[in-house]
Structure formats: structure tokens, C-alpha cells
Amino acid sequence: MQKYRAMQDKVMLSMESRMRGDMQVRFGGRYEETYCRKAARRLVPSLRLGKGGNIIDLAMELYHTQNVSEVMRIMNHSVIIHIQQPMEIRPEEKASFERIVVKELEHTALLSYLSSRGINSAIAKSQCVEIHYKNGVKHYFAIGFKNDAGGYELRNPYFKGCIAPKGITTIRNYESTCHVFEGFMDYLSYLILHGECDAVVLNSIVNLPNTLSILNEYSQICCHLDNDIVGKMATRQIMEALGAKCADASNEYGAYKDLNEYLMSKSMAFRQKGRNKS
């Protein structure tokens, strides 16, 4: 029973940490996000209670409800115990950003990182900035993506976090369709693949309830969320809340975790084809 409880805690953390918008950082060469995802994939089959189904069904069973919105509300306010120390990182506790400088995106290391993710410099410079900051006694720099609240999502090859306040990012080109993305890498990937669009970038699943009124202004909504449990749960909530005008667009990258991973695979195939011709 104790072993079951420990496994349950790990799986629930992998869902809830993303729903709360916890910062995911890299320590000692390991990404917390990667650890959580592997834990969930490895442990889910042993948590089906003999009834079949997925982790959404498990959450409904644990919380005694069949309402997806209610499950997400409860999980957003719940507390999980028995968590290992590396999992307890919070942006407000561990990240103190000082001497913040926002400038044009131009650092070769950041542009090279984006290129490795399939994002060209023209698209990146049109949507992102470069942010230098001090955290403790050390100086850092990262790609910055501004949100509507005035904060920034931060990303470099070794770090994923944000400068508060955290919020969604809306992009308006006055079209009838709005595209929903979990993070800005997926939004940039869509621009590479399909061009400009009206968009809502959640920057965290926890921001989803704040987007429904905005999305309801559109005649059509396309959800490009992650192909994992939390992404599917979020897509399902949007579709239940806003009805038939919502579509799950994840079929485009059905064999991949998300839209950016799909773009990376296409970029790699294109480069390989070029090398073969030469």
C-alpha cells in the first residue's frame, strides 16, 4: 500500500505541477519535466484500479466526480504530500530576478538553440526578446516571450521559467479562428508551418479558465495542446465549455509529443534530404 501511495504521488505531481504552473528547471543534467513525464508513463498502468481507462479516469475516481472541470479545479487547489525535495521548487521561492534588461533577440547561443528547435531567426526576432538578469550572484540570459500581464516566459537550453507576473499571451490579427497553444515554442512552430494567426498561448495549463471568455469571441477554435494526459484533459475542457466550434488539431502531430517536436522532425528530415543530394 505504501508503494502504491508513493507511485500515486509521483503521477499526480506530474499532472498537478503543470496545472499550477510550477517552474521546471534543470539541475545536475536532469529536467524535472522529463522526470515527471517518465514517471507518469511508467506508472500509469499500475494505477487503473482494475477498471480500465486512463489517468483522467483515475483522477475522477480519486475525487469522486465525473466532471472534468471539477477535477481540474480540485487539482489546482489540492496539496500532494510525500514529494521528494527536488520536486518542491517554486518560482517565487527559488528564483529572484534582479537587474533585468530586455533587448532585441540577437545572441548567437539563443538563436542557435531556437534553430535546433526548428525556429528560424526571423520568426523568433518578430515574437521574442532577449532578457539578461541576475539571480543570486550569477548573471544569466534567456529568450523572453511577453505575456499580457507584463511578465515574461523565459527559455534557454538549460532553464525554463518566468518573470512574474505570469499570464496568458494573446495575439490578435482579427481573424475568425483562434488557435490555442500550451507554450510559445508551439506557437512559433505554428508560424513556421502555417503562418500568422490569432492565438492564445496559455504559458501554463493553470491559465486555461482565464481564456474561455476570450476564446468564446471566436467562431472557431483550434486546440494545439500537448499529446499527453494533461494536454488532452485541457482540450477536453475547452471543447466541453465552448461546444462544437472547438476542434482538436493535435492530429497533425499525432505521433509526437507536441507541435514543436513535430516541426523538429520535419526540419531534421529536410536537412538530411539536403545532405543526401549533396
Percent of the chain with pLDDT over 70: 63
Distance between CA atoms of residues 132 and 263, nearest Å: 28
Mean pLDDT of 154-169: 94
Percent of the chain with pLDDT over 90: 58
Look at strands 198-201 and 177-181 and give their pairing. parallel
Look at strands 220-224 and 246-248 and give their pairing. parallel
| Cβ neighbourhood burial of 260 (10 Å; 0-12, 13-18, 19+) | buried
State which of 12-16, 39-43, 68-72, 249-253 shows the largest mean pLDDT.
249-253
Give the SS3 label for residue 200: strand
Q: How far is CA 108 from CA 105, 112, 141, 143, 170, in A?
A: 9, 6, 12, 11, 28
Question: Is the bond preceding 165 in cis, omega lying within 30 degrees of 0?
Answer: yes
pLDDT at 97: 80
Query: Does the pLDDT value for residue 34 go beyond 60?
Result: no
**Phi then psi dihedrals of residue 197, to 5 deg:** -160, 165
Higher pLDDT, 98 or 251: 251
The answer to whether 227 and 249 have CB atoms below 8 angstroms apart is no
Assessment of whether the complete model's pTM goes beyond 0.85:
no
DSSP 3-state percent helix, strand, coil across the chain (nearest 5): 50, 20, 30
Residue 1 — pLDDT band, cuts 50, 70, 90? very low
Neighbours of 226 (CB within 10 A): 25
Give the SS3 label for residue 82: coil
Q: Which residue has the cell 529536410?
A: 270
The answer to whether 75 and 15 have CB atoms below 8 angstroms apart is yes
CA dihedral 81, 26, 90, 257 (to 10 degrees): -80
Distance between CA atoms of residues 49 and 26, nearest Å: 34
Mean pLDDT of 222-228: 97
